Structure 1
Amino acid sequence: MDAHPQATSDPNVEADIIVIGAGIIGTACALSLSQQGWRVVVLDSQPPGMGASYGNAGHMATEQVFPIADAAIVKQLPKMLLDPMGPLRLDWRYVPKALPWFTRLLWNLRQAPYQASVAGIRALNEQSLAAWQRLLDSIDGRHLLKEEGSFLVYEKADNADELEALRARMVEQQVAVERWSGDAIRDVALQLSDNIQGGLFFPGTAHVINTWQVVNSLVQAAKSNGVQFRQTTVVSGSVSGHCVSLQTDSSTALTAPKVLIACGAHSAKLTTALTGTSIPLDTERGYHLMLPHERERLPVAITSLERRFIMTPMEEGLRLAGTVEFAGLQRPANMQRAWQLHKLSQGLFRSELDITDAQPWMGFRPSLPDSLPIIDSVQDGRVLLAFGHHHLGLTQAAVTAEIIANLATQGERHPSATNHAVADLSPYRINRFT
């Protein structure tokens, strides 16, 4: 594919844009950039799609327009510290390092910043599914997306009021939502137990049938456009003149006119090096349990209100996911949390799930205290940023890619640039942390 008109002829430049991160965000951005004619190289310490993107819940969570925490988290803090198997866990050994992040999170629970977060999440989510449709259509990959909605179910009659309050809040945010009875839900999901009292149906949501295959399809399409994928670790970088220099763990220096940082929970150090801004980025350690013998158990993704986890049907089985643990990037995984997901499923079905050959997993979701990602162009357009999507990385990947593709033009409309991307990017700018 022809190089972008702004491409330099400097022989030391490896590409027009170097993308750091080969997860769902980085690969979607690389593909979108290549479709505009940019020469792109993608760097990652792992093969494409093998980080958090491999193990996400597979749910296109356009209905989740509220931040990861609300005022109720204050009451939950003691339990978060004491219950190692709770749905929201804070490892007591990580408290000193996590304290500044949680302080910012609590500060963002004030009405004005909280509502700003809701507006920012909603603006991305409203465009997310349509952006995914466009991206998958461009590579003949629409079959990877099942657009059949999802459910949030409840079991305890006492929680009917809580569910109705949530429905009302979602209606206020213009989220498409319907109240369904337990019998109506069981007509769709035949194997759910009679314990299900009812729930909410979200017609504007979807799920993917194979999380790794989604990334792989983007990778293959990007490669066909000339994008190169290299397995290497970027350890440092600097901006000088009209280029960005990156140092790798093999002591190789790579340079390009532009760099996109999209390496999820590992983005903070390099962002500081290239922008001078310190980012309060932490990680939600997410767990899943894949059940390979339960492919036919559910037709759509179903979340439990009381048990606080999600079950998503996929090609390779039923994926149970959804717990959050704050313990940083260094501590080993506590796979008991993954197996706990099976215990949480007990009582939701007419017969117990088959855990034969079940596969536990843990990954790092990049999270900022205001629950908004950083999507930005800084350093005179030389440094692009796309990270911090917490548990909405899959959901917001395609719309983020459209935004980045537009930002890369530095205001010059490329013939292939989209007009669909979110108009107001101020909620996602890095300068909110300066």
Structure 2
Amino acid sequence: MKEYDDEHRGTIAIVGAGIVGLAAAIELQRKGFDVTIIDKEGAGSGASKGNAGHFATEQVFPLADPTILPKLPGMLMDPLGPFRIQPRYFVKALPWFMRFLANMLPRRRAKNTQAITALNQSSIAAMKQLVSFCHCEELLTLNGSLLVFENTPLDEVNKELSAYANAGVEVQLLDGAQVRKLEPSLSKTITHALYFTHVGHTSDPYRLCKALESKFNALGGKLVTEELVKVAVAKTSSTIQLDMATGATQQIKRLVIAAGAWSKPFAKQLGYSVPLESERGYHLMMPQISTLSRPVASYNRKFIITPMTDGTRLAGTVEFGGLKAPLVAARADCLFTHGKALLPTLFESATVTDGERWMGFRPSLPDSLPVIGRSQKQSNVFFSFGHQHLGLTWSALTGKLLAQEVAGEQSNIDLQPYRIDRFV
């Protein structure tokens, strides 16, 4: 028997109007719930707007990879490198990194890989269903992606190929000539590529969010653009009180925390200590329209190029510095050097000042898994956050899984690996 089998399932509030929260809202509406979303900035802002637009189902490996350890000093010293920790933030981030290191242990890494793969395997199908339901199919392109190598030894390339193939990822090895036959504008310095044939991208992540918001509104949803500061569950009843920054309060029966990098304080108010850290991701949006037909990631440079409706997006750097520090222009600008190296003709006459800098917050947990499912402390509270680099990729699927959990149905995927109480 389903938990909510009444004729009208009642109301539910979602904290967070990023693509994860929007997808969950629509799936809950499809199950008969009246849904209100609360977000201080409105729909599709933050990481949902500025991500690389890549549905990266080939990324089955946790970020906690022991092979990066010997490379870390060089990465931190390289001004064009993909990784940085702001010095003032190092001590604060240290507990997260200790947990991150622990997840490099073989058993944990294998377990986390399995849990990531379980989500990735169904994510594209779920997104296809979602964009069809929202009548925005044109915003999902299933044309694969490339991981390119510049003068990398062939045995190293083959090692990467084997790792992906052994993990069940659909992948082909291309030589330089085959790469440029597929994408003629790419540099001749590229000697090989892995062609991931079963992934996709969107040409406009923000427009995708707005399409979901439009469907949400059409289904009777309500978006409250206010800042939520406190969540409290009454001890004598199942009522949840929401306190806004304006002083307004709201009483609700069911709640979903899907606030991305801002989810940690709400989880703490509900009794959970979650090791959530924000990875500050950057992009440089160049106005030049490329001839690329799919995302191109660089193995050597650790960044990604995605063709967009309004230009070419260069993305991929990671910075740890918290939620309050301002954008560091150099972290976006360094992407131009990499972009010009891979697309020399496109950017031949361009300068970095042509681009628009952006920085957003990826909500990352040290095991690279999201938190999905019901609270073990409050049966009317649910979570969907911590999607790290795969928020766009997992959004439609985790929306479905969450809606099944709220409705008391058997979920399509076992949610045990993603429980919020997995952290000790």
Same fold (TM over 0.5): yes
TM-aligned CA deviation for residue 352 of structure 1: 4.9
TM-aligned CA deviation for residue 255 of structure 1: 1.8
Q: For the residues of structure 2 that align with 1:54 and 1:430, how far apart are their CA atoms?
A: 26
Contact 1:4 1:36 in 2 (8 A): no
1:342-389 per-position Cα deviation (integer Å, ceiling 9, x unaligned)? 111233234251346311100000000000000011145311100001
SS of the residue 1:119 aligns to = helix
Q: 1:17 to 1:299 in 2, by over 3 A?
A: same
Contact 1:123 1:422 in 2 (8 A): no
Aligned match of 1:231:
225
Residues paired across the two proteins, number: 415
1:36 pairs with 26, 31, 34, which one? 31
Aligned match of 2:244:
248
Q: For the residues of structure 1 that align with 2:131 and 2:293, how far apart are their CA atoms?
A: 21
1:96-127 per-position Cα deviation (integer Å, ceiling 9, x unaligned)? 10100000000110011111110111100011
SS of the residue 1:140 aligns to = coil
Contact 1:297 1:318 in 2 (8 A): no
1:21 partner amino acid: G
- Using the size of structure 1 for normalisation, the TM-score is 0.92
1:97 pairs with 92, 106, 112, which one? 92
Aligned match of 1:394:
392
The answer on 1:426 being equivalent to 2:416 is yes
The answer on 1:125 being equivalent to 2:126 is no
Contact 1:81 1:91 in 2 (8 A): no
Contact 1:4 1:39 in 2 (8 A): no
Aligned match of 1:183:
177
Q: 1:209 to 1:278 in 2, by over 3 A?
A: same
SS of the residue 2:117 aligns to = helix
2:165 partner amino acid: V
Aligned match of 1:319:
313
TM-aligned CA deviation for residue 253 of structure 1: 1.1
1:137-195 per-position Cα deviation (integer Å, ceiling 9, x unaligned)? 1121111101010101111142x222211111111111100011111111121111211
Q: For the residues of structure 2 that align with 1:7 and 1:335, how far apart are their CA atoms?
A: 50
Unaligned runs of 5+ in 2: none
1:288-331 per-position Cα deviation (integer Å, ceiling 9, x unaligned)? 011112x2331111011111100000101110001111111121
1:378-423 per-position Cα deviation (integer Å, ceiling 9, x unaligned)? 1453111000010100000000000011011124x7xxxxxxx542
Q: For the residues of structure 2 that align with 1:286 and 1:29, how far apart are their CA atoms?
A: 24
Contact 2:64 2:367 in 1 (8 A): no
Q: 1:350 to 1:100 in 2, by over 3 A?
A: closer
Aligned match of 2:206:
212
1:291 pairs with 286, 289, 307, which one? 286
Q: For the residues of structure 1 that align with 2:273 and 2:8, how far apart are their CA atoms?
A: 30
SS of the residue 2:305 aligns to = strand
TM-aligned CA deviation for residue 76 of structure 1: 3.4
SS of the residue 1:371 aligns to = coil
The answer on 1:360 being equivalent to 2:339 is no
Q: For the residues of structure 1 that align with 2:72 and 2:188, how far apart are their CA atoms?
A: 33
SS of the residue 1:37 aligns to = coil
The answer on 1:278 being equivalent to 2:273 is yes
Deviates more, 1:189-198 or 1:257-266: 189-198
2:157 pairs with 152, 163, 183, which one? 163
TM-aligned CA deviation for residue 7 of structure 1: 5.4
Contact 1:7 1:16 in 2 (8 A): no
Return structure 1 stretches of 4+ with deviation > 4 angstroms: none
Report % sequence identity: 39
Deviates more, 1:396-405 or 1:73-82: 73-82
1:387 partner amino acid: F
2:260 pairs with 247, 252, 264, which one? 264
- Using the size of structure 2 for normalisation, the TM-score is 0.94
Q: 1:175 to 1:136 in 2, by over 3 A?
A: same
Q: For the residues of structure 1 that align with 2:167 and 2:416, how far apart are their CA atoms?
A: 20
TM-aligned CA deviation for residue 16 of structure 1: 1.1
SS of the residue 2:66 aligns to = coil
Contact 1:189 1:298 in 2 (8 A): yes
